[in-house]
Amino acid sequence: MPEPRSVSELNIPADMLLLSPALSFVEELARGLGFEHIEALNIRLALEETLTNVIQHGYPDDPEGRIGLCCEVLPTGLRLVVREKGLPYDPEAIAAFDPAQASLDGEATGLGTLLIRHAVDEVQYRNLGREGREIVLTRHLRDRHVAHILDLQAPKAGEPGGPTETVEFDVRPFQDQDALEISRCAYLTYGYSYEDYIYYPERVAAMNAEGTLLSVVAVTRDGRFMGHAAAKRSHPGDPLLEFGVLLVSPQFRGHGVAGRLVDAVIERARQAGASSGFGRAVAGHTISQRLSEDKGMRGCCLLLGTFPKDVEFKKLTGVIPDKMSCLALWLGLRERGPRRIFPPAKHRDWIARLYQNMGLAWDETSPAGTTQDCGRLESQFTDILNIGEVLVPDCGPGNLEEVLRTVRRLHLRGADAVYVFLNLEHPGCPALAQALEEHDCFFAGVLPEKIAGRDALVLQRLNNLPIRYENIRLEDPEAFALLDYIRGQDPAADDAAQ
């Protein structure tokens, strides 16, 4: 998350009649930052709906309640953080807006939430336990997008390219002046198929500065930009990094740029103190899988329905009409000893097989470690992929309903697939996994160190998403065997085959 350049804080009474001064302040702040008239009004609307929800649901009978509002000026726009300690309520549990129902009875349940999500770029809900809740609204300046900076037209994804000359080049760590070229390369090469941050040069630079993105670039000896790769952290200091954002300009493909970028980003992650990393290789063709395996990465889980449908791979496979699946491949960056894990008996043999394939030792006999302060459940929704993730550090018996509620919310938001990561080092993992499988979750594999350094059992749940298993392309025989096992666990596999 980009660091703010400046911060203003307000303390607002939980009274609808007293919201106007705060709303006007934020609207004028947005105008001063360069947002156009309609954009500033949208920001005001999102804040007004958020504060209204807080007052109506968190302080329904408490006009003396207080709401904190933090206005953070970002390099790329504005972030608003609403903090409150009213009655416990779940903003994401508010029913989705139904226009037909609204027209019949005059009710507009869910309309405010719908307006908020359309008025800003990012909405996050955070449960802070005894400290209450946070709602974070972020809106980015449109003229910071690379398409506006350079007046670019996005081509179709995957345009072919190849070597037209012999080029000598170097691979080096990111420098601030690279940010624009990275955004430009992503936009020109793949259109809008990557996560949003990559199209904003200032966000790329800010994430590199704070250490949540570790970028490397390839440049010719005469300074021409050739490509980019990065290791991404979900939070600063995470021991597990995700390798990705591998971009090679079409005119420089075929020069071995991708391989050298991957080598460099792995070394960059090692130098940054990461203990492991993983990459998501598309299962629509085998080229990215082969590259990852050549670098020592090994398959650990198969996530169904991850990538968008109707992506064209030109000579590789043509157009793939369905959502594509993803093979996650893991790489250890430093030695580690055996982990005390608690595998569900149903999947024990496959978990052992995956650990052996990754060269990892594990232990089922030593005493369990402490289960206190494991951390809170976290979830996220990636709109460009329509997928959700749920991280469950505490697999205690009282957490089943919270996990199920979170999965349902993500499906209601449009997630075609939700991936649930259970703390495999928690004694409650087997029981919680069994309970979730009774609600149509099924096995995907494991991902070492996914949950704050703890190994994770990965389950997945599909939202009426048909999977054509015959279209999944895998390079490694072990990955094929994993696919067959997962297909046997999928409660809808027989229906999809018909």
Task: Tell me the average pLDDT across 226-234.
Answer: 93
pLDDT band at residue 228 using 50, 70 and 90 as cut-offs: very high
Co-location of 19 and 120 in the same domain: yes
CATH number of the domain at 262, please.
Answer: 3.40.630.30
Last residue of a domain, one of 332, 354, 382: 332
Which amino acid is located at 183 in the chain? Answer: S
pLDDT band at residue 157 using 50, 70 and 90 as cut-offs: very low
Q: Residues 20-56: pLDDT tens digits?
A: 899 999 999 998 888 888 889 999 999 999 999 888 8
**The predicted structure's pLDDT at residue 318:** 45
Radius of gyration of the chain, Cα coordinates, nearest whole angstrom: 24
Co-location of 288 and 433 in the same domain: no
Task: Tell me the average pLDDT across 136-155.
Answer: 69
Among the listed residues 78, 94, 63, the one whose alpha carbon sits nearest the alpha carbon of residue 4:
78
Evaluate whether residue 224 is within a structural domain: yes
Evaluate whether residue 277 is within a structural domain: yes
**The predicted structure's pLDDT at residue 498:** 47
- Residue 97 belongs to domain spanning: 6-140
The segment with the largest mean pLDDT, out of 140-154, 179-193, 332-346, is 332-346
Has residue 227 got a pLDDT over 90?
Answer: yes
**The predicted structure's pLDDT at residue 5:** 63
Q: Which of 164-178, 398-412, 480-494 has the lowest mean pLDDT?
A: 164-178
Strands (E), 432-471: 442-451, 454-462
Q: Residues 81-125: pLDDT tens digits?
A: 999 988 776 655 555 555 555 444 445 555 667 788 888 888 888
Co-location of 347 and 314 in the same domain: no
C-alpha 356/C-alpha 362 separation (Å) is: 9
CATH number of the domain at 473, please.
Answer: 3.40.630
Evaluate whether residue 1 is within a structural domain: no
**The predicted structure's pLDDT at residue 89:** 62
Co-location of 285 and 352 in the same domain: no
pLDDT band at residue 166 using 50, 70 and 90 as cut-offs: confident
Evaluate whether residue 317 is within a structural domain: yes
C-alpha 130/C-alpha 12 separation (Å) is: 20
Co-location of 134 and 264 in the same domain: no
Q: Are 210 and 2 in contact (CB under 8 A)?
A: yes
Co-location of 492 and 377 in the same domain: yes
Co-location of 163 and 117 in the same domain: no
Co-location of 280 and 367 in the same domain: no
Evaluate whether residue 188 is within a structural domain: yes
Evaluate whether residue 349 is within a structural domain: yes
Instruction: Give the residue, 255 or 454, on which the prediction is more confident.
Output: 454
C-alpha 153/C-alpha 156 separation (Å) is: 10
Has residue 14 got a pLDDT over 60?
Answer: yes
**The predicted structure's pLDDT at residue 150:** 62
Has residue 317 got a pLDDT over 50?
Answer: no
Q: Which of 4-13, 202-211, 268-277, 435-444 has the lowest mean pLDDT?
A: 4-13
C-alpha 421/C-alpha 81 separation (Å) is: 27
With tokens 């992506």, the residue in question is 311
Q: Total domain count for the chain?
A: 3
3-state SS string over 366-380? CCCCCCCCCCCCEEE
Co-location of 180 and 286 in the same domain: yes
- Above pLDDT 70, what percent of the chain? 84
Co-location of 310 and 428 in the same domain: no
Co-location of 266 and 318 in the same domain: yes
Q: Which two tokens stand for residue 54?
A: 């807080």
The segment with the largest mean pLDDT, out of 279-288, 371-380, 451-460, is 451-460
Instruction: Give the residue, 393 or 85, on which the prediction is more confident.
Output: 393
Evaluate whether residue 202 is within a structural domain: yes
Mean pLDDT of the chain: 85
- Above pLDDT 90, what percent of the chain? 52
Has residue 241 got a pLDDT over 50?
Answer: yes
Pairing state between β 454-462 and 417-423: antiparallel
Co-location of 50 and 192 in the same domain: no
**The predicted structure's pLDDT at residue 384:** 79
